[in-house]
Amino acid sequence: MQKLNVVRLADDARSVTILDQTRLPNHEEYLTLKEPQELWQAIKSLQVRGAPAIGVFAAYAMAVLAENETDLGPAEFLTTFNEQADYLNTSRPTAVNLSWALQRMKKTAAAHQDLPVPELAQCLVEEARAIDAENREMCRKIGEYGVTLIHEGDGILTHCNAGYLACVDYGTATAPMYMAQEKGLHIHVWSDETRPLLQGARLTSYELYKAGIPVTSICDNMASIVMKQGKIQCVMVGCDRIAANGDFANKIGTSGVAILAEHYGIPFYTLGPSSTIDLSTPSGDDIRIEMRDPEEIGSMWYKEPMILPEIEKFNPAFDVTDHSLLTAIVTEKGIVYPPFDVNLKKLFANQ
């Protein structure tokens, strides 16, 4: 399977290099970043995207900032580090992996604050590398659980991009697809284009094609007809935040796909790391939805605006799918079935 290097920490840990996903699929370009504002902007502008990849990137970003501040005194270093983490956390509010990774790095800094600053910075580098390694293992395990839900000849519909481009390795929603390929199963993936930023068209279909997995790209409003024609046996999507009752936020349009799947009797799965589960968020009503630049709808992809500038545009980045539409949640710890409010708690009972 051909993969691109999505996020990589420099050997001296003073910069982090990312594949600029805003340039795909026609241009494979890399950015090397080290300043707080450009690290923040990389997340905000979707140069790095996908909840797990954002978590890995955030950890590496904090490691870079730590290595570049080792001339500060211990107290000033810790204050600056925490301020930079809080600043980075404002880049995107919906994906819980961002705040999760930043909080983990802050805890590591606090736990080692009595060390000399250079040694403390090295602890933070090691913690960031651990987050990356754990993420890769997490993706593999999600794939192993998820592939048990796939059968020979299945057609699988996916929305947005929850592949290795979004997750560094294997992906979440695509991990079972890669595992199916490794096991010799013949599948066909139908990739929603995912308006307005076209992550499905630009990224998912791109990476699956590169991997040799049969894939057909469709407009978002074509999902119903391929379901009705019997081409889809299950839906697998990623998630950016899962509430305690099983409601989950994912890229805008996901809830509509879930409603269609319910209508046609097609199993609907969301796949993501346990770090995406936020038991402190009671339901989807409590998930803050990021609003993005309206011109992503009106003029971003066009030589001339497709919507008059005077017309108001509404551009939420995510929507929330109700848990009642969800067949199961696949995590690296196993497959969670309803009732989600009970079984999600059980997932963490032994931690």
CB 254 within 8 A of CB 319: yes
Q: Quick check: is 286 catalytic?
A: no
Which pLDDT score is estimated for 52? 85
| CATH number, span 143-347 | 3.40.50.10470
What predicted TM-score, i.e. pTM, was given to this entire model?
0.86
CB 147 within 8 A of CB 176: yes
How distant is the alpha carbon of residue 246 from its chain centre?
Answer: 17
Where are the domains positioned within the chain?
7-140, 143-347
Runs of H (alpha helix) within the chain: 36-44, 51-67, 74-89, 96-111, 117-146, 164-167, 175-182, 199, 205-211, 223-228, 254-264, 295-298, 340-347
- Domain 7-140: top CATH class: mainly alpha
Strand, coil or helix: what is 340?
Answer: helix
CB 204 within 8 A of CB 158: yes
Of the listed 154, 192, 240, 247, which one is catalytic? 240
In order along the chain (351 residues), what is the average pLDDT of each group of 10 residues?
82 96 93 96 93 92 95 94 96 84 96 95 97 94 98 98 90 96 97 96 94 97 98 96 96 98 98 90 95 93 92 97 98 97 89 56
Which pLDDT score is estimated for 60? 97
Strand, coil or helix: what is 50?
Answer: coil
DSSP state for residue 68 in the 8-state scheme: T
Residue 14 CA: distances (Å) to CA of 37, 59, 326: 15, 13, 43
Please count the other Cβ atoms lying within 10 Å of the Cβ belonging to residue 5: 11
